[in-house]
Structure 1
Amino acid sequence: MYYNKISITWRFCSREMRETIMAQEKKQSFMKGAVILSASTLLVKVLGLLFSIPLANLIDPKSMSYFYAAYDIFGFFLMLSTAGLPIAVSRMVGTAYAQGRRKEADQVFGVAFWLFFGVGLVGCLAMFFGSKQFASMMGYPGADLAIMALAPTMFFISVMSALRGYFQGRSNMVPTAVSQTIEAVTKVVIGVGLAVYILQQYDSDDWAAVGAVVGVSISAGLGTIYLVLYKLRQKRRDKDLPDVGSSGVSRKSMLKSLIWFAIPITIGSCFLSALDIVDMAVLSDRLQQGLHFTQEHVDDLRGLLGNARKFFDLPGAFVIPISTSLLPVLSGAIASNDKRSVDHISSISMRVTLLIAIPASVGMAVFADPICQLLLFNKPDAAAGTAPLLAMLSIAIAFNSTLFTTNAILQSFGRATTPVVNMAIGGVVKIVLSYVLIGIPEINAMGSAISTVVSYLLIMVLNLIAMRRSLPDMDGFVRMSLPILLSSAVMGAASYGAYCGLCLFVSPKLAVIPAIVLAVAVYAVSIVLFKAVTYDDVAMLPRGEQLARLLHVKKKVLPRHMRSSR
């Protein structure tokens, strides 16, 4: 294996050389990188709502089901081509930089770039020329044009993944954040603009969905152009940086290491994407064959479930920056055999994940109905049908979010196969449970949401058991969760009470907004009162020490390396 061949020579570098490399790189800390990506994600998600909500209100559920079908196919190919490889690139680049091997990190990127280029091109061609077959296989014969329009995105995303993996390995999250923002802004402007134009000129919901997808492809192309230009500028700036020398590993060995590490992650990610496709197929079959629903009714239910999944994914997206920032930093600490840093970073990443995921799960479940009414303001029937599905799926937000961080921790230890096995077990349980529950008339489509909750809970438990073997001294999961869960319960009760009071005077659509603002304030106070956060958690944020003193968070004595890094 590639990393077994690397001898740790970083400690033999002169102090001046190490300080020069670190100063030139200006690496963000783990949490600062996560904050940068989280801020970008917040903006991207807001813009994403400005993209998806108008479409859901403009386009009928049947045509929106074609839009979601194209995204399901795209999601599968995206996972196939990029899920494991960016993580492998980030890990290898992060480890090389932790040992002072800058040129070797660039060689890893060169190998990865052309691999991503080829895989993305093949995926793009497969989506474009196989669009009819994919649409028929999914049970959406009218979705072929939407799938075809999304095909170029496959290529652009693949190239972007190589570039983002490289920068993330260097703990530089700015290029990823900016490229995501460029994508989100242009997607809203072009995608929604095309959909509105087509509806006004041709009054075709099906073609409006295709127009929205075209906007997605164009936005991905613009994001790719930005990252390529940034990389060229970075290359010029890196010319004068020192380097401790190469380990002598050939590009062929690097390619083997990339693929060897990426395959289990890719299989696991593709498994989950394929699972969504299979689940939708099971839903369609059971509703039609088992319950004798009409095709139109089935399409409507799939559109409602697609809306619920779209809203369900929003909170979990804020946890992805944590796992993205965690992997290269934790991999570097493991490569340096710094056990104290490994335990410290892992504990903080899990606690911050829970601090985001648990209140999001509670809040989304409590306010599922008014949230759907607000976001689907022009489709009251769709809002009413989406709300109960979202309320059930919301329970799984905490479980799903935890998977991102636990997967990243296991992958940092080189245990890439373990999450795959756990996801496979959860996936089998989900399909079996979906088949049984959807066939019950009183449950029907809700069976898919229930099975999602059960499967994510099972996968999370299996991941935590596996993680404890690698990190026996890390803070306990239950001990971290209880004060956060208690704070979230107080938040939910206080904000829902305020919401009910506000509904006496204003519309529920409007009442939910101040209720959510109140929920954030109550939660912020509660986590301090119940000691759900530590000084370390707050201090690792930008200007965190000042914030910790403001919140009167009790200070602990930090390890020497953490004190010196700030």
Structure 2
Amino acid sequence: MFFSIPLANFLGGEGMGYFYTAYDIFIFFNLLATSGAPIAISRMVSMAYAQGRKREADKIFRVSFTLFSLIGMAGCLVMIVFADQFSVLMTKNNGSMYAIAALAPMVLFMSMSSCLRGYFQGRSNMVPTAVSQVLESGIKLFVGIALALFFLQTTGLPELGAAGAIVGVSVGSFFALLYILIYFFKSRAQTRYMVREVPVSSTKHILHDILVFAVPVIVGSAFLNFLDLVDSSVMMYRLQDAAGLDETTAMTMKGWLGNARKYFDLPNAVIVPISTAVLPLLSGAIARKDRKGIRETSTLALRMTLMVAIPAAVGLCVLSGPICDLLLYSQPEDAAGTAPLLMLMAPAVITASLLYTTNSMIQAVGKVHVPIINMAIGTVVRIALVYVFCGIPEINVNGAAFSTFVSYFVMIVLNVISIHRILPGIPSVLGMAVRPMLAALIMAGVSYLIYMGLTFFVSSKIAVIIAIFAAIAVYVLAAVFTKAITRDEIIHMPKGERIAALLRLK
């Protein structure tokens, strides 16, 4: 948030369009190098530890680290060599080539760090992942913003400003990798193995297991991201060819959509850790054949996801205009263009958040192909809708925001059907959502009235900040009042016993 908000205000809509184009290309190659690694390693390591085979877990890591580092190196070189061609393919101009080349090293760094993170996540140790991500974000913030300002002021070209920001992203990724490598070697020196441990599997056998589990995820993720690239490219061509917009306006609208998606993704800062933690916990329970543990872990993960996602979606929808005015404080035109897109996309926060959690649940069971098929169906639906709606001049880029909502809805419906088929006994997701939704609607009504009342006395930017903090307090109280939150969920949080006592939850 602290990186994206200043950047959007410095670069404007056009500059952010170049920035997001580079990210679209990067995500494709990064998924090739990393999408299967943490999932496969986390699952295999957690199962090995649940069975007391620590040496096996370490060998799984060594084999996967070598494999995915080579894949990351290949992706990095392809991005550098073909940066110009990728830029023209995506936007009909080569303005994004500098940003694409600057982001290429991150593919290698991320492929290596994702193996390390997957290894520690499989051991239910989230500390190195957390610290490395904070380190990465902090360096990205200071280096990226400084370089973006430097290039923008010295050249006046938004495409070079975007490239400067992305250099900061790659530098941050390098130092995150360096930290987690140091952590790994220190922890390895302290690892104690069992005296009598079954012989470890051969490298060939481990490589086979990794590929059997990871390749469907990699192929599926790459295919899904390829569809995302097609979606982005179709949108740009339809805006220019069918809707009759010029190149600069279309790129600016792409920047608005990118901003809306960035704010739309903010709640996932809470959701992704839930889904990340679910996979090894659920895999361990499955390895132990603990039916009660499987049901409790799955139910708790879904309830926690809904408790965060529903109020976030309602809040972003109700206060989309004031939030965009606040975050894009020096770009009022960009704020006005971003706000309706965010309002259209906001309801999809719920379905997108559930998608992360349900994907992890399905993958923990070993059905890695199911989420991929479901997401592919939803993405194809989105591309079809983008083609139709973005070509209508009166709708233009709003069609892409609406298509995002529809596609996530299709994906989660398919995932929920799959969950109830694979893990029978899991409570209804709709049933679990009723009470949090009621609490969120109470929150929305109160916070909007507070915002409107404050605008008579203070600026709208100050009013929305106060309204957001008020919304959090109101939601917590409403969740207790409507019994949307239970003591069991509270006590799983840090200081949970104290919070439950404060809220008088029995």
CA deviation map 1:478-526 (0-9, x unaligned): 2210000100110111101110101111111111001000100010011
Say if 2:12 and 2:334, in contact at 8 Å, map to a contact too.
no
Show the counterpart of 1:208.
Answer: 161
**1:171 pairs with one of 100, 103, 124:** 124
Show the counterpart of 1:188.
Answer: 141
Say if 1:102 and 1:243, in contact at 8 Å, map to a contact too.
no
What is the deviation of 1:425? 1.1
Moved more, 433-442 or 452-461: 433-442
Show the counterpart of 1:218.
Answer: 171
Show the counterpart of 2:39.
Answer: 87
**Is 2:230 aligned against 1:287?**
no
Say if 2:244 and 2:393, in contact at 8 Å, map to a contact too.
no
Show the counterpart of 1:478.
Answer: 430
Say if 2:344 and 2:402, in contact at 8 Å, map to a contact too.
yes
Following the alignment from structure 1 to structure 2, what is the Cα–Cα distance between the partners of residues 532 and 287?
Answer: 44
Equivalence map 1:37-56=2 (5 Å) = 49-56=1-8
Following the alignment from structure 1 to structure 2, what is the Cα–Cα distance between the partners of residues 538 and 243?
Answer: 40
Following the alignment from structure 1 to structure 2, what is the Cα–Cα distance between the partners of residues 194 and 288?
Answer: 31
| Divergent runs of 4+, >4 A | none
Equivalence map 1:114-125=2 (5 Å) = 114-125=66-77
Following the alignment from structure 2 to structure 1, what is the Cα–Cα distance between the partners of residues 274 and 194?
Answer: 30
Moved more, 275-284 or 356-365: 275-284
Show the counterpart of 1:14.
Answer: none
What is the deviation of 1:243? 5.8
CA deviation map 1:59-113 (0-9, x unaligned): 1322221111111100111112111221010000011111111110001000111
Report the RMSD for the aligned CA atoms in angstroms. 1.3
Say if 2:381 and 2:407, in contact at 8 Å, map to a contact too.
yes
What is the deviation of 1:534? 2.1
**SS of residue in 2 equivalent to 1:337:** coil
Show the counterpart of 1:564.
Answer: none
2:494 aligned partner, one-letter code: P
What is the deviation of 1:203? 3.1
Say if 1:100 and 1:244, in contact at 8 Å, map to a contact too.
no
Following the alignment from structure 1 to structure 2, what is the Cα–Cα distance between the partners of residues 170 and 314?
Answer: 27
Show the counterpart of 1:31.
Answer: none
TM-score (norm 2): 0.97
Following the alignment from structure 2 to structure 1, what is the Cα–Cα distance between the partners of residues 69 and 196?
Answer: 30
Say if 2:55 and 2:200, in contact at 8 Å, map to a contact too.
no
**Is 2:348 aligned against 1:396?**
yes
TM-score (norm 1): 0.87
Following the alignment from structure 2 to structure 1, what is the Cα–Cα distance between the partners of residues 26 and 229?
Answer: 11
Following the alignment from structure 1 to structure 2, what is the Cα–Cα distance between the partners of residues 202 and 478?
Answer: 53
Say if 1:101 and 1:244, in contact at 8 Å, map to a contact too.
no
2:452 aligned partner, one-letter code: C
Following the alignment from structure 1 to structure 2, what is the Cα–Cα distance between the partners of residues 317 and 78?
Answer: 19
1:214 aligned partner, one-letter code: V
Following the alignment from structure 1 to structure 2, what is the Cα–Cα distance between the partners of residues 90 and 69?
Answer: 31
What is the deviation of 1:116? 1.4
Show the counterpart of 2:187.
Answer: 234
Show the counterpart of 1:142.
Answer: 95
Following the alignment from structure 2 to structure 1, what is the Cα–Cα distance between the partners of residues 14 and 132?
Answer: 32
% of aligned pairs identical? 47
Say if 2:322 and 2:460, in contact at 8 Å, map to a contact too.
yes
Q: Which segments of 5 or more consecutive residues in structure 2 lack a partner in the other structure?
A: none
**Is 2:216 aligned against 1:264?**
yes
Moved more, 514-523 or 76-85: 76-85
**Is 2:20 aligned against 1:68?**
yes
